[in-house]
Amino acid sequence: MDRVSVLFAAPGEVTVVRETIPDPEPGEVLVQTVTSAISAGTELLFLRGQVPPGTAVDRTIQALDGSVAFPLRYGYACVGRVTAAGAPADAGWIGRNVFAFHPHTSHFTAPVSQLVPVPDGLDLRRAALLPNMETAVNFVMDGRPVIGERVAVVGLGVVGLLTTALLARFPLAELVAVDPLPQRRALALDLGAHRALAPDDLDDPASYDLVYEVSGAPAALNTALALAGYAGRVVIGSWYGAKQAPIDLGGAFHRSRIRLLSSQVSTLDPRWLGRWDKARRLDVAWAMLRDLRAERVITHTLPVSDAPAAYRLLSEHPEQAVQVLFDYTDVH
């Protein structure tokens, strides 16, 4: 039996390839993937070739180490079951459900040090959302919302929606979600936003204490800046890749002491390092996945053999799709 893998063959071109299933080396195990999640914002940047020249794929994830070059294997949200071990010492992993930061593929080998056991009883579809939930946790930690604050989230992709769901647990005076797409605004309300508005419908600029810009669109930073009140905080969680847009820093921003904060999940803010590490943050992300019914952001589950159609859906019809999962049943 072969394995099936997703390959970015060239800019804008997705293919599905068949390969021999690898054997695990000592210290490794073989994982049979059950589901994997497309991280639409980041993956579409790579697929379209919209990353700055010389960018590393991801130095913090061993399975993605290397420079960006086509053909490219990408993705970082695989959930599956361990089916074999390369050495007797690792046989205890066999049969366990695990998460791995690994490109989309039906079978893969990995050192046990790179696997994250899925908590007992947690639905595997929810488990595939772990990277996005960890990112949302990181955004909340970096923004540090305060009781009674007015908070806005600009951009309601998966990370924006999960960030909204986390913020809804805080005793805020107001939580407004901003996105041009009606389906995403409806999801934000379901996840706890007090209001959900299109950018053109915003009626109270310059009044928010904390604003998150997580749209992935550089021009949306102007919307976030306009929403921030005097000495407000704007957390920029988007990665824009090579995309650029004019940013208005000559108006209210100049005199309003607005603070721009870059937030990225690969590291923790140094203020937390005395007590926090990635393992502790992952534990919080698992707990939030269990508590928040995060599967509400999943709109489509497609066979991995339909990978080209999945990326076309996300690229051409974002009004229809939010979180798309791959299912590997047809491979096994």
Options 3.40.47.10, 3.30.465.10, 3.20.20.370, 3.90.180.10; CATH of 2-128+297-327: 3.90.180.10
pLDDT in tens, 263-302: 999 999 999 999 999 999 999 999 999 999 899 999 999 9
Residue 233 contacts residue 208 (beta carbons within 8 Å): no
The pLDDT of residue 203:
82
- The domain locations on the chain are 2-128+297-327, 131-270
Reported as a pLDDT band with limits 50, 70 and 90, residue 52 is confident
Options 3.40.50.720, 3.10.20.30, 1.10.10.10, 3.40.50.300; CATH of 131-270: 3.40.50.720
- pTM value? 0.94
The SS3 assignment for 39 reads: coil
For 250, residues 6+ apart whose C-beta sits below 8 A from its C-beta are none
The phi and psi torsions of 241 (rounded to 5 degrees) equal 60, -130
